[in-house]
Amino acid sequence: MGEGRTSRVIGALCAAAVLGIGALAMGAATAAPESSNRATHEGVASCAGSTCHSRQVDSGVNVRQNELITWQDPSSVAGAHSRAYRVVYEARGEAIARKMGLNADGVARQCLGCHSDPAAGGRGARFQSSDGVGCEACHGGSGAWLASHRTVTGTHADNISRGMRALENPKVRAGVCLDCHFGGSKPGQFVSHEIMAAGHPRVAFELDLFSSLQQHWDVDADYVKRKTYAGGVKTWAVGQAMALDRALTLYGTSGRGQGAFPELYFFDCHACHRQISDDPKARPQWQANPGRPIPAGTPPFNDENMIMLSAAAKVVAPALGARLDADSRAFHVALARDKAESVRAAAKLAATARALSDAFAARNFSRAETLAIVDAILQGEITRRYTDYAGSAQAVMAADTLLNAMANSGQVDRGAVSRMRPNLDRAYAQVRDPNNYRPDAFRASLTQVAQAARSLR
C-alpha cells in the first residue's frame, strides 16, 4: 500500500475526529454474523519472541514475523490497537468518563469491550487487558492452536479448524472489525449517543482502507497459495453490505434508546446538530435527498453504506440493486412514521444487504465493473444523495480504495492514480471538518475527481 495514501487519509480522518466533537457521523453497520470466539485468549506475550512474531525486521519465510513490532509502533496509525487501552485512561478518555460520571467499573463495562480484547472465551495466564486490542481480538483465541500452528505440519486449514479466524475472508473480517468499528450487541461494544455527547470521536470505518492502515502482512505468492486473496474491491463491497446489515440489525433488535427517543447513534448527526436561524433570508441547511423521501425536520437514518451499496449493486447486481433502493426508501419512510413499522422495514433491508454481501463474496470484479462503480459513486444521480457528512466521507474513502485496488492489481497504471492524488486530497479536505461540511462544495470536488478518473479508461 502506498505511503501517500496511508498518511493522507489518516490526516483527514484524524482531523475529523479531533475537530468534529460537536457533530459527527456514525459508521455503518452489519450484521448477521457478529464475531464470536470461545477459545482461551493466551495474551499478546504468547505471540511474542524473536522466533515468533516479534522479530525486529520483516524476515520471516512465510509471514513477516515482525507483526508485533508493527502492531505496537508508537509513531504510526498501525500501532493504534496497542494504544487502545491506554487512551481510555489518558486525558481525553478520562474527560469522557468524567462527563458520564463513570467510576472504574463503569469505564470497564462501557469502554473496554472495544478498547481491549474482551476475551469472551476466557483468559490464559499471560493475558492482560492493558495490552489493548491484542492479536487474539482479531485472530481469535489461540488456546487450541497456539502450540500446533508453529509446527511444520500446521496448515491454515488446521489452524482454522482449531478456532483461528479466517480473516482473509472479507465477511469474517468485516464481522470482527465492525464489533468495535461500528458496534455490536455484546457487552461494552456500543458507542451510544450518550458516549458521543461526552466527547467520543466519531467512529468512521471502511473495511479495505482500514485494513491497509493497520497492515502487518504481505499479500505475496505464498500468501495467495496458503489463503485466498479477495482483493480490495470485493473487500470494500462486502464491507459496505456487512456494515449496513450490522446497523440495521442493531437498530431493530437492540432495544436501545434514550427514554422516549430511539438511539441517536444510528442517525445523521448533523441533521440535529445545526445552527438555528429564524432569519427569513437564511438558507436552510437541509437538502432534499431522493434516496430518503422524508419530510424536512425528520431525523434521517445514517445512509452512508446504503449509498455505496447502491452504486456497487447497480453495476454488478442490478435486480438486487433495485430491491435495495426500494427497501431503503421504504425504511426511511417507515422511520418517519412508526417505530414498529421501521423495525420491520429494517429487517427487510438488512436481508437485502445480506443477499448483496453473498453476491459480492461469490464473484470477482472486472476492471470495467470497478471503473463503472467509481463512476456511479462520483457522478450522476447518486450525488444528489450526498446531503450529509457521513455519506460524503464514505464516498471519498470509496474512490480512494477502489482506485488503489485497481492500481495494486495492475488494472490501471499506478502513475495515473498518483496523478489523481491532488483531486482526491481536495475531496478529503471537504470532509476534514464535519462542522464545515457543505454539500454543494463537496459535490463540486467529487466532479473533479470524476473528471480525473476519466483518464483511466
Identified binder of ligand HEC from the candidate list 28, 111, 233, 374, rule CB under 6 A: 111
Sign (positive/negative) of CA torsion 451, 383, 246, 21? positive
CB atoms within 10 A of CB 380: 11
How far is C-alpha 168 from the geometric centre of its chain's CA atoms?
16
Identified binder of ligand HEC from the candidate list 5, 12, 13, 449, rule CB under 6 A: 13
Considering the complex, what minimum distance in angstroms separates the CB of residue 448 from ligand HEC? 25
Which set of grid coordinates corresponds to residue 354? Answer: 445480506
Sign (positive/negative) of CA torsion 153, 154, 156, 162? positive
Identified binder of ligand HEC from the candidate list 31, 42, 66, 81, rule CB under 6 A: 81
Q: What is the dihedral of CA 229, 392, 194, 252, to 10 degrees?
A: -60
Q: Exposure pattern of 277-310 as b/e (b: 16+ CB <10 Å)?
A: eeeeeeeeeeeebebbebeeebbbbbbbbbbbbb
CB atoms within 10 A of CB 259: 4
Near ligand HEC in 126-165, by CB under 6 A: 133-135, 137-139
Report the residue number, 8 or 227, with the smaller CB distance to ligand HEC.
Answer: 227
CB 220 within 8 A of CB 408: no
Report the residue number, 88 or 241, with the smaller CB distance to ligand HEC.
Answer: 88
Identified binder of ligand HEC from the candidate list 1, 17, 108, 355, rule CB under 6 A: 17
CB atoms within 10 A of CB 223: 16
**How big is the site for ligand HEC, counted in residues (CB under 6 A)?**
76
Residue in this structure with the C-alpha cell 496509525, named with its chain if needed: 77
Which set of grid coordinates corresponds to residue 203? Answer: 467512529
Identified binder of ligand HEC from the candidate list 110, 235, 352, 383, rule CB under 6 A: 110
Rounded to whole angstroms, the Cα distance separating 395 from 401 reads 10
Considering the complex, what minimum distance in angstroms separates the CB of residue 256 from ligand HEC? 12
Q: Is 243 in the site for ligand HEC (CB under 6 A)?
A: no
Identified binder of ligand HEC from the candidate list 1, 80, 343, 429, rule CB under 6 A: 80
Rounded to whole angstroms, the Cα distance separating 294 from 311 reads 21
Report the residue number, 266 or 442, with the smaller CB distance to ligand HEC.
Answer: 266
Which region, judged by CB under 6 A, interacts with ligand HEC, from 203-211, 348-356, 358-366, 397-405? 203-211
How far the first Cα of the chain sits from its last, in Å, is 22
Report the residue number, 14 or 322, with the smaller CB distance to ligand HEC.
Answer: 14
Near ligand HEC in 406-445, by CB under 6 A: none
Which region, judged by CB under 6 A, interacts with ligand HEC, from 144-152, 167-175, 235-243, 286-294? 167-175
Considering the complex, what minimum distance in angstroms separates the CB of residue 297 from ligand HEC? 11
- Please name the amino acid found at residue 5: R
Rounded to whole angstroms, the Cα distance separating 142 from 158 reads 13
Identified binder of ligand HEC from the candidate list 140, 141, 143, 201, rule CB under 6 A: 201
Considering the complex, what minimum distance in angstroms separates the CB of residue 314 from ligand HEC? 26
Measured CA angle at 36 (ends 31, 364), to 5 deg: 50
Which set of grid coordinates corresponds to residue 61? Answer: 519465510
Report the residue number, 203 or 317, with the smaller CB distance to ligand HEC.
Answer: 203
Sign (positive/negative) of CA torsion 353, 359, 360, 365? negative
Identified binder of ligand HEC from the candidate list 127, 236, 251, 267, rule CB under 6 A: 267
Q: Is 124 in the site for ligand HEC (CB under 6 A)?
A: no
CB 131 within 8 A of CB 117: yes
Q: Is 197 in the site for ligand HEC (CB under 6 A)?
A: yes
Identified binder of ligand HEC from the candidate list 97, 241, 315, 424, rule CB under 6 A: 97
Identified binder of ligand HEC from the candidate list 1, 15, 19, 21, rule CB under 6 A: 21
Q: Is 115 in the site for ligand HEC (CB under 6 A)?
A: yes
Which set of grid coordinates corresponds to residue 85? Answer: 487501552
Measured CA angle at 175 (ends 9, 60), to 5 deg: 70
Identified binder of ligand HEC from the candidate list 269, 353, 378, 403, rule CB under 6 A: 269
Near ligand HEC in 27-66, by CB under 6 A: 44, 47, 53, 63
CB 59 within 8 A of CB 335: no
Which region, judged by CB under 6 A, interacts with ligand HEC, from 259-267, 306-314, 360-368, 425-433? 259-267
Considering the complex, what minimum distance in angstroms separates the CB of residue 265 from ligand HEC? 5
Q: How many residues can be counted in the chain?
A: 457
Which region, judged by CB under 6 A, interacts with ligand HEC, from 87-95, 286-294, 334-342, 367-375? 87-95
Near ligand HEC in 292-351, by CB under 6 A: 299
Which region, judged by CB under 6 A, interacts with ligand HEC, from 188-196, 285-293, 312-320, 359-367? 188-196
CB 227 within 8 A of CB 156: yes
